[in-house]
Chains A and B, each alone.
Chain A
Amino acid sequence: MPAVLRRIPAGMLSAVVALIVWQIIGSVGPLAGDSFATATEAISALWVLVREATFWLAFWETVQMAAIGFAISMVIAIPLGMLIGLSRFSYRSSKFTFDFLKVIPPIVLIPIAILVIGPTLAMGVALVVFANVFSMAIQTAYGVRDADPVLLETMRCFRMGLAKQIRYARLPSAAVQIGIGMRLALAASLVVAVVAGLVGGAGGLGTFLALTQSAGNADDTYAVILFLGAIGVALSRLLVRGHRRLVFWVGR
């Protein structure tokens, strides 16, 4: 491999290749034409967009939906999951229903949500909560149940009661699963917040996308998609790092 190439990080290399392929598809074919933006068109459109207040306002709305929805689902799901996980009976009996609810794509609830709440930010928040709360509760419950029985018995031998077992054994071992769940949930929150705007008119970048699309402005549409992708990658990197810090003992 030539020395020039070796200095580029592996992740960047595939990104560059993807951009080149995108450029070729959009300019030479099979998707050449006005309805499809090339990589260079999308990037230069994004360059214009990031200097416009309306873009950032839309972004801020999406962030609000995602963040508030994420926070509410954590506040509900983590304590709920803890409670469910503490007894084998409640874990087994809730698992089926929660597994069922968690695979329902939030997008199918949009028609109902529009009727009940209306196409508002609140609806976006509600969808984000729905998207996360069941999988997060089950993930937490699983983490609580996952505590090592040898450790729990050791604690019983040393006469440490239920409260100490929760605080020092069940919570830390649940933290591993909670961290994984939060990572997935935050990524899902962003997606659902955009979809709520795109399909449900809840505002934010989703609605912004819907408008550029119906105006036939392909460059702006792809610029927003590119932007969302970049935000998603950055967020996921950040969360992986945070999770590693939180459960520093894992994999040692």
Chain B
Amino acid sequence: MTTAIAINGVSMEYVTPEGTTHVLDNVSYEVSEGSFVAIVGPSGVGKTTLLRLLSGLQKPTAGEILIRGERISGPPAGLAVVLQDYTRSLMPWLTVERNIALPLKNQKLSKADRSERIESSLEEVGLSGQGGKYPWQMSGGMQQRASIARALAVRPSILVMDEPFASVDAQTRFDLEDLVLKVRDDFGITTLMVTHDIDEAVYLSDEIVVLHGRPAKVRDVVTVDIPFPRSQIQTRNAPRFAELRTHVYAMVRGLE
């Protein structure tokens, strides 16, 4: 399988008046095209820092990140993000439709193509015909669906999600998990997700990257050998699911 993202010996240090904080130490990992990868680790370990480096918001102090062989030096084309805090990442002064339309202005699309993109993205996330609403007129789950629709509308090859379901209720969370699996199936998007929920990581991923230590290193990469399609009821009850989550949990807690 071809490599979509290559993280080569990435280290990250923050220099503050109080001293230097070494967050990531020589992190290397390759993401295969079209795979679903979860990044887990204890809180404060540097998961979000790694995502920020991947989305080009910051530059690593050492090492490099390649997307399809090209070193990134800023937010790369073909990358879309979904963040935890949908109330802050969607614009309350624009309707959902216009929120989705905004990133599309970078792509030279005809008016018809653009509205087709918006409508099909809304349909994909189950928000058909709701584009005229403002985000604050929607429930939390619907707002996060809208964020996902905005990401899909740019037709990304890489989707980066930072704790995307941490602010919605448990029921909605299951629905949204199944939604991102469907999206991955429909578009073959390479997906990276940071989560603190180990069950969620096992349920969604092909591979789980476990970060551990200060500064954080890749503790292990766990291959989730549970076949797709997965189901909230069967998959989560499978003995293999329990084994994997116990294994990953023990590593995150530093017990293994």
**Residue ID in chain B nearest A167 by CB atoms:** B102
A3 contacts chain B at the CB level, 8 A cutoff: no
Cα A172 to Cα B102 with chains together (Å): 15
- Knowing A159-B77, A168-B91, the reply to whether A154 touches B83 (Cβ < 8 A) is yes
List of A residues within 8 angstroms of B5 by Cβ: none
Bound form: Cα–Cα A28–B92 in Å: 57
Which residues from 140 to 178 on chain A have a C-beta closer than 8 Å to any C-beta of chain B? 148, 150-151, 153-160, 164, 168-169, 172
CB distance A154 to B75 under 8 Å? no
Asked if B55 lies at the interface with its beta carbon under 8 angstroms from chain A, I say: yes
- Determine the residue in chain B with the shortest Cβ distance to A159: B75
Determine whether B136 belongs to the interface, using a CB cutoff of 8 Å to chain A.
yes
State in angstroms the CA–CA spacing of A229 and B16 once bound together. 54
Contacts A157-B55, A158-B75, A158-B154; A168 near B83 (Cβ below 8 A): no
Dominant SS among interface residues on chain A:
helix
Contact of B81 with A by CB under 8 A: yes
* CB atoms of A252 and B81 under 8 A apart: no
Q: With the chains together, A169 CA to B93 CA distance in Å?
A: 9
CB distance from B62 to the nearest CB of A (A): 23
Q: Which residues of B contact A160 (CB under 8 A)?
A: 102-103, 105-106
Residues of B with C-beta under 8 A to A155: 102
For residue A169, which residues in chain B have a CB less than 8 angstroms away from its CB?
A: 91
User: Taking the nearest CB of chain A, how far is it from the CB of B128, in angstroms?
Assistant: 23
Asked if A164 and B57 make an inter-chain contact with CB atoms under 8 angstroms apart, the answer reads no
Contact size range, A:
10 to 19
Contact pick for B105, options A156, A157, A164, A247, CB 8 Å: A164
A158 and B88 contacting across the interface, CB-CB below 8 Å: no
Say yes or no: is A96 at the interface (Cβ < 8 Å to chain B). no
Tell me whether A100 is interfacial, beta carbon within 8 Å.
no
Could you tell me which residues of chain B, from 38 to 71, have a CB within 8 Å of some CB in chain A?
Answer: 55-57
**Residues of chain B from 77 to 118 with CB closer than 8 A to chain A in the complex:** 77, 79-81, 83, 85, 88-89, 91-94, 102-103, 105-106
Q: Is the CB of A164 within 8 A of B102?
A: yes
- Is A89 positioned at the interface, with any CB of B under 8 Å from its CB? no
Question: B92, A168: Cβ atoms under 8 Å?
Answer: no
Q: Which residues of A contact B80 (CB under 8 A)?
A: 157-158
Partner of B89, one of A151, A159, A247, A249: A151
CA distance A153 to B82 in the complex (A): 11
Q: Do B93 and A172 have beta carbons less than 8 Å apart?
A: yes
User: Which of A153, A157, A172, A252 lies in contact with B91, CB distance below 8 A?
Assistant: A172
Name B134's closest neighbour in chain A (CB-CB). Answer: A249
Residues of A close to B88: CB separation below 8 A: 148, 150-151
Q: Mark A117-155, 1 if CB is under 8 A from B, else 0.
A: 000000000000000000000000000000010110111
Q: A157 near B75 (CB under 8 angstroms)? A: yes
The winner among B57, B75, B79 for most chain A CB atoms within 10 A is B75
Point out the residue from A151, A156, A164, A249 that lies within 8 Å of B75, measured CB to CB: A156
A155 to B55, CA, bound (A): 12
Which residues of A lie under 8 Å from residue B81 when comparing CB positions?
154, 157-158
B102 touches A153 (CB 8 A): no
Give chain B residues whose Cβ lies under 8 Å from the Cβ of A252: 92, 134, 136-137
Contact A168 B136, beta carbon cutoff 8 Å: no
A150 adjacent to B85 (CB under 8 Å): yes
- Closest B residue to A150 by beta carbon equals B88
| B169 nearest CB across to chain A (Å) | 20
Nearest Cβ distance between residue A144 and chain B, in whole angstroms?
Answer: 15
User: Considering the complex of A and B, which 9 residue pairs feature the smallest CB-CB distances, nearest first?
Assistant: A249-B92, A158-B103, A252-B136, A150-B88, A154-B89, A157-B81, A172-B93, A157-B55, A148-B88
